[in-house]
Amino acid sequence: MLVVCFQTNAQVERWQQHIDYTIKAALDVNTNIVKGSEDIVYNNNSNDTLTKVYFHLYWNAFQPNAAMDIRSRELGKNSLTNRRGDVVKDWDARVTDRIEKLTPTEIGYQKVNSILIGGKVQKLVKHETILEVILTQAILPKSTVKMNIDFEAQVPKQIRRSGRDNAEGVRFSMSQWYPKMVEYDYQGWNTNPYIAREFYGVWGNYDVTLQLDQHYRVAATGVLQNPTAPANAQGIKTWNFKGNNIHDFVWAADDHYKHLAKEVRKGLTLNVYYKEKDAKSDSAWANVLWAAEKMLPFMEQKFGAYPYPQYSFIQGGDGGMEYAMATLLKGPGLGTVFHEWMHSWYQHILGTNESLFPWMDEGFTSYAEAEVSHAYNLTFAGNSPFINESEKGQIKIANEKAKSQLPVVQYGNYMGYLGLAKSGLEEPMSTHSDHYNTNYAYSSAAYSKGATFLGLFGYIIGDSMRNKVLLNYYNTWKFKHPNANDFIRVAEKTSGIQLAWFKEYWMNSTKTIDYGLNDIQATSTGAMISVQRIGKMPAPLDILVTYKDGTSELHYIPLDLMLGNKEAEGSINRIVHPECKWVQPTYTFETSKPLSTLKSIEIDPSYRLPDVNRSNNKLEIPN
Ligand SMILES: [Zn+2]
- pLDDT for the residue 139: 98
**Which of 337, 388, 340, 330 shows the shortest CA–CA distance to 361?**
340
Give 507 Cα–ligand 1 centroid separation in angstroms.
19
pLDDT: is 476 or 396 the higher one?
Answer: 476
Q: Which residues of 231-267 are buried (b: 16+ CB within 10 A; e: fewer)?
A: eeeeeebbbbbbbbbbbbbbbbbbeebbebeeebeee
- pLDDT for the residue 115: 98
pLDDT band at 406 (very low <50, low <70, confident <90, very high): low
Phi and psi of 241, rounded to 5°? Answer: -120, 145
Give 357 Cα–ligand 1 centroid separation in angstroms.
13
Predicted model pTM: 0.95
Give the Cα separation of 618 and 607 in Å (integer).
12
CA geometry: angle 113, 114, 117, nearest 5 deg: 165
Give the Cα separation of 136 and 500 in Å (integer).
45
Measured from the Cβ of residue 280, the count of other Cβ atoms closer than 10 Å reads 9
- Each residue's pLDDT tens digit, 571-612: 899 999 999 999 999 999 999 999 999 999 999 999 999 999
State mean pLDDT over 470-485: 97
Give 62 Cα–ligand 1 centroid separation in angstroms.
22
Residue 63 makes CB contacts below 8 A (sequence gap 6+) with 69, 99, 102, 107, 108, 109
Instruction: Confirm if 156 and 164 have CB atoms less than 8 A apart.
Output: yes
Give 347 Cα–ligand 1 centroid separation in angstroms.
9
Give the Cα separation of 227 and 242 in Å (integer).
12
Give 346 Cα–ligand 1 centroid separation in angstroms.
10
Give 384 Cα–ligand 1 centroid separation in angstroms.
25
pLDDT band at 384 (very low <50, low <70, confident <90, very high): confident
Give 355 Cα–ligand 1 centroid separation in angstroms.
13
**Which of 105, 158, 154 shows the shortest CA–CA distance to 328?**
158
Give 534 Cα–ligand 1 centroid separation in angstroms.
34
pLDDT band at 559 (very low <50, low <70, confident <90, very high): very high
Query: Helix axis angle, 364-379 relative to 389-404, nearest 10°?
Result: 120
Give 408 Cα–ligand 1 centroid separation in angstroms.
21
Specify burial of residue 3 (Cβ count, 10 A radius: 0-12, 13-18, 19+).
exposed
Give the Cα separation of 618 and 623 in Å (integer).
16
Given a cut of 70, is residue 540 above it in pLDDT?
yes
State mean pLDDT over 295-314: 98
Give the Cα separation of 409 and 452 in Å (integer).
11
Q: What is the SS3 assignment for 541?
A: strand
- Each residue's pLDDT tens digit, 410-459: 999 999 999 999 999 999 999 999 999 999 999 999 999 999 999 999 99
- pLDDT for the residue 3: 46
Give 358 Cα–ligand 1 centroid separation in angstroms.
9
Give 362 Cα–ligand 1 centroid separation in angstroms.
5
Give 477 Cα–ligand 1 centroid separation in angstroms.
20
Phi and psi of 588, rounded to 5°? Answer: -125, 145
- pLDDT for the residue 618: 95
Residues around ion ligand 1, judged by CB within 5 A, are 362, 365
Rg, C-alpha atoms of the chain: 27
Give 352 Cα–ligand 1 centroid separation in angstroms.
13
- pLDDT for the residue 95: 97
Give 611 Cα–ligand 1 centroid separation in angstroms.
25
Measured from the Cβ of residue 189, the count of other Cβ atoms closer than 10 Å reads 15
Give the Cα separation of 415 and 418 in Å (integer).
5
Instruction: Confirm if 606 and 459 have CB atoms less than 8 A apart.
Output: yes
- pLDDT for the residue 1: 46
Give 321 Cα–ligand 1 centroid separation in angstroms.
7
Given a cut of 90, is residue 334 above it in pLDDT?
yes
Average model confidence (pLDDT) across the chain:
95
- pLDDT for the residue 575: 97
- pLDDT for the residue 8: 46
Query: Dihedral angle at the C-alpha atoms of 416, 421, 422, 425, nearest 10 degrees?
Result: 100
- Each residue's pLDDT tens digit, 506-515: 999 999 999 9
Q: Cα 138 to the chain's mean position, in Å?
A: 36
